[in-house]
Amino acid sequence: MLTHGLGCCRTPSGDIPEHWPSRTSVYGGLGPTRCLCDIARVGADYPKVELHVHLESTMRPELLLQLAQRNDCPLPASTLAGLARFCVATSFGDLGRIWLEVTKVLRHEQDFGDVLLSYAREATRQGAVYVEAIFNPIIHQRRGVDMDAVFSGYCDGAQKAREEYGLEVRLTPDADLWFSAAEAEELARYAVAYRERGVVGFGVSGADYRDSPAPFVRASQIARDGGLAFTPHAGEFGGADLVRFAVEQLHASRIRHGLGAIEDPGLLKEIAEAGIGLDICPISNVRLGAIPTLAEHPLPVFISAGIRCSISSDDPAFLDTDLTRNCDAASSLGVSPRTLFEAGVAGALCDDATRARVAEIGAAFDWSRIEPSAWT
Ligand SMILES: [Zn+2]
């Protein structure tokens, strides 16, 4: 079996979420390491759909240095190697600190477009044919960047991605759970205003074991009334109660992660019957300690329960990962690349014509070249 040699079996540096008891009852306690060394490489290019990637977390060191120089904005390191060392998160706290530090380089409309186009190049090389990308505009606004510059920059980048790479990119801005309800509601209105330029959803993200999504009910309503889907993070670290809240109170179309649902078989059934997809990011879940080891990931249980699960990279530049590695991790758990692709197509929030074009790419691909019969 080929393995990625990810430099794994690291001992985590700490910052384990406090909201853990119910999850440990499921997983039997957090192990001493977060092992990813048993990921088998599929060993072939195949089409992929990615529905959960944070654009600001795709900035590799080369792009960060370029933006830092252009905007005369110093970073914590001034070399590629130094930045690569800085941008490694082994906990959710790490991830937040890195994110806040490096996103300071994003100042102007063109910067956001460049971030999107750079990721479109990376994703296309890995076989992505459709991407739904998240961005978190409120922090940029608090730093003095005009909200329209953030939206316009990303929307321009999506247009260029289509022209230069043939990649379809749709956008889903997130409000951070630690910002105010008023800020989230203003963001929801902006998201609706940019619907014609490729914004298809609106969500919330943050430390779900600490910050409640309850104040965001109205923001989710504004987005849904404006024709957007609501796609919240829920149950990444928190339990089934938070996933249930996202389903019942926030009327989620898809749920980002949703791992906490594993505690509640009735909820799994509800999610499956409602056709709510889960955005699964296996390497992120292990790297950040949401799941002790890849072998214990609930993905196979979710699929057995009839839930559509797509695979994404979440924060690839800060988690030493990419889309292919995440898909390979899912395949190591016995899930076929074709199943993942079809779940992505079904969960995508684009228009029907685009969905049909993406589905055709999958239908035309010879999956038998890469799929052993053991995969589901
Ligand atoms: Zn995420």
Q: How far apart are CA 169 and CA 105, in angstroms?
A: 23
Q: Which backbone phi and psi does 143 adopt, to 5 degrees?
A: -90, 5
pLDDT of residue 147: 97
pLDDT of residue 210: 76
pLDDT of residue 212: 84
CB 347 within 8 Å of CB 317: no
Sign of CA dihedral 107, 108, 109, 112: negative
CA 370 distance to own-chain centroid: 25
CATH 3.20.20.140 fits 47-361, yes or no: yes
> Could you tell me the mean pLDDT of each successive run of 10 residues in the chain, 376 residues long?
35 37 45 54 83 98 97 95 94 92 97 98 96 97 96 98 97 94 97 98 87 90 97 93 94 96 96 98 94 93 97 96 94 93 97 97 92 63
pLDDT tens-digit readout, 57-114: 999 999 999 999 999 999 999 999 999 999 999 888 889 999 999 999 999 999 999 9
Q: What is the dihedral of CA 346, 352, 354, 359, to 10 degrees?
A: 40
Beta strands (DSSP E) in the chain are 48-54, 128-135, 168-176, 201-205, 229-230, 233-234, 254-257, 277-280, 309-311
Neighbours of 16 (CB within 10 A): 17
Q: Ligand 1 centroid to 373 CA: how many Å? A: 32
Strand order in the sheet with 48-54: 48-54, 128-135, 168-176, 201-205, 229-230
Q: Ligand 1 centroid to 106 CA: how many Å? A: 19
Catalytic residue among 50, 185, 186, 236: 236
Residue 236 falls in the annotated catalytic set = yes
Q: Ligand 1 centroid to 52 CA: how many Å? A: 6
What are the domain boundaries of the chain? Answer: 47-361
Q: How far apart are CA 225 and CA 351, in angstroms?
A: 17
Q: Ligand 1 centroid to 63 CA: how many Å? A: 21
pLDDT of residue 19: 38
- The model carries a pTM of 0.91
Q: Ligand 1 centroid to 57 CA: how many Å? A: 9
Q: Ligand 1 centroid to 286 CA: how many Å? A: 13
Looking from the CA of 68 toward its CB, the CA atoms found within 13 Å total 18
